[in-house]
C-alpha cells in the first residue's frame, strides 16, 4: 500500500523552526518524511536526523529522503530516546527539533494496524510492532477501574464508566478480538439518543486505548525538557498536537520552561534560583487556515506551538 499522508501546518512549522542552512535538526515523528523533506531541502552543510518508531514509516521516509544522501540520518526508535541516540553518535546540540504527534493517515488507513473503528481488523494499535502490549491485551486484561480511568482521562468520554463495564461483561463470554467487536460493545454502552447526536460512538474510546497502548502522553511529558536542554542557544522546538490532552501538556511545559520561578508572588526578588530556559515564540498556538482544513480534514484539530531556547 502506498504511504499517503498530507503534512499538516507545513509552512508554519518550517517558519517556526527558523531553519539555518548549516544547522542540525531532528524530526522526532518522521512519518512519510513530509516535513523532513522540506527541512532537508533548506539545508546546505546542515544535517537532519529523522526518527520514527514505525517500520513502515521508516521505509517510506527512507525512500522519500534518499535524494538527500548523507545529509539525512534515519533512526528507528521512540522520540523519547532521540536525544540519547544522537548523543551516542556524537551530536552535542541541535538548532531545531520538531514533533508532529499522533498517527499518520497511512497508519489509520492500513486496516490491519487496528487503529480505526471504521474497518474490521484485529485490535492492535501499536505504532512500534516490536512492542508486546497491544490494544487487545489492554481491552482483555486491564481491570474495569483501569479501563474506566483510561477512557475517561484519555478519551474524555462521558460514558467511560458504562463502556468499561460493558467491556468487562463482554469479555467474560469470549476474548474481544476485533475492532468491530469492540464497536458493538461501545455502542451498547451509550444511550441511543446520545449516539444519534454525537460523532462515531467509538471515537473517544479508540483514542483512549491508542494513547494507553503507545504511552503517548507519558512519552511527550518525558521528552520536552530534555529536548529544550539539547537545543543550541536560539534553537527551536516546534510541536504539532491534535487533541487537547497533548496540547495542554505542551502549553504547560513551555510555560514552565519560560517561567520556572516557584517563589510566592509577594516576594520582591526571586529566591528559588530557577532560571528561564527561553520563550514561547507565539502567545497563542498557530492553527491551520480554512483553506488547509478544506483540503485536509485531518488538520482541523491541529495546534502548533514553538519554543525558542535562550
Ligand atoms: C502525524 S505522523 C508524522 C507525519 C510527518 N510529519 C509527515 O509530514 O509525513 C506521526 C508519526 O510519528 C510517529 N510517532 C508517533 N509517536 C512517536 C514516538 N513516540 N516515537 C517515534 N515515532 C512516533 C508515528 O509512527 C507516525 O509515523
Ligand 1 close to Cβ of residue 82 (< 6 A): no
What's the per-residue H, E or C state across 2-50? Answer: CCCCCCCCHHHHHHHHCCCCCCEEEECCCCCCHHHHHHHHCCCCCEEEE
Q: How far is CA 248 from CA 111, 123, 143, 293, 301, in A?
A: 30, 28, 27, 22, 13
Task: Indicate if ligand 1 lies below 6 Å from the C-beta of 52.
Answer: yes
Ligand 1, residue 78: give the atom nearest the CA. 20
Ligand 1 mean position to 304 CA, how many Å? 15
The pLDDT tens digits of the residues spanning 142-156 come to 999 999 999 999 999
Span 149-176, average pLDDT: 97
Each residue of 266-307: pLDDT tens digit?
988 999 999 999 999 999 999 999 999 999 999 999 999 999
Residue 239 Cα to ligand 1 midpoint, Å, equals 12
Verify whether ligand 1 is closer than 6 Å to residue 104 (CB atom): yes
Q: Record the cell numbers describing residue 187, joined without a space.
A: 455502542
Give the domain ranges of the chain: 10-106+218-309, 115-215
Nearest to 235 by CA among 20, 14, 9, 8: 20
Tell me which architecture the domain covering 10-106+218-309 has in CATH.
3-Layer(aba) Sandwich (3.40)
Pick the CATH number of 115-215 from 1.10.3720.10, 1.10.150.170, 3.30.565.10, 3.30.1360.80: 1.10.150.170
Amino acid at each position: 500500500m502506498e504511504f499517503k499522508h498530507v503534512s499538516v501546518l507545513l509552512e508554519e512549522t518550517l517558519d517556526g523552526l527558523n531553519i539555518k542552512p548549516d544547522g542540525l535538526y531532528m524530526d522526532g515523528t518522521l512519518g512519510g518524511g513530509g516535513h523532513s523533506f522540506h527541512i532537508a531541502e533548506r539545508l546546505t552543510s546542515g544535517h537532519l536526523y529523522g526518527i520514527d518508531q514505525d517500520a513502515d514509516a521508516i521505509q517510506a521516509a527512507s525512500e522519500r529522503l534518499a535524494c538527500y544522501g548523507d545529509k539525512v540520518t534515519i533512526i528507528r526508535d521512540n522520540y523519547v530516546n532521540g536525544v540519547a541516540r544522537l548523543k551516542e553518535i556524537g551530536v552535542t546540540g541541535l538548532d531545531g527539533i520538531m514533533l508532529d504527534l499522533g498517527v499518520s493517515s497511512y497508519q489509520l488507513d492500513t486496516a490491519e494496524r487496528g487503529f480505526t473503528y471504521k474497518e474490521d481488523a484485529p485490535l492492535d494499535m501499536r505504532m512500534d510492532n516490536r512492542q508486546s502490549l497491544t490494544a487487545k491485551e489492554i481491552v482483555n486484561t486491564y481491570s474495569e477501574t483501569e479501563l474506566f480511568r483510561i477512557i475517561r482521562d484519555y478519551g474524555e468520554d462521558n460514558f467511560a464508566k458504562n463502556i468499561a463495564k460493558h467491556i468487562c461483561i463482554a469479555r467474560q463470554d469470549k476474548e474481544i478480538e476485533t475492532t468491530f467487536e469492540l464497536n458493538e460493545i461501545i455502542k451498547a454502552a451509550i444511550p441511543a439518543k446520545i449516539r444519534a447526536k454525537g460523532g462515531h460512538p467509538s471515537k473517544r474510546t479508540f483514542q483512549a486505548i491508542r494513547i494507553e497502548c503507545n504511552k503517548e502522553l507519558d512519552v511527550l511529558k518525558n521528552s520536552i525538557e530534555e529536548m529544550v536542554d539539547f537545543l543550541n542557544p536560539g534553537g527551536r522546538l516546534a510541536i504539532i498536537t491534535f487533541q487537547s490532552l497533548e496540547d495542554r501538556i505542551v502549553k504547560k511545559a513551555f510555560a514552565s520552561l519560560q517561567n520556572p520561578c516557584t517563589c510566592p508572588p509577594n516576594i520582591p526578588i526571586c529566591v528559588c534560583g530557577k532560571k528561564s530556559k527561553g520563550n514561547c515564540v507565539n502567545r497563542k498556538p498557530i492553527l491551520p487556515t480554512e483553506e488547509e482544513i478544506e483540503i485536509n480534514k485531518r488538520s482541523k484539530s491541529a495546534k502548533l506551538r514553538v519554543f525558542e531556547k535562550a
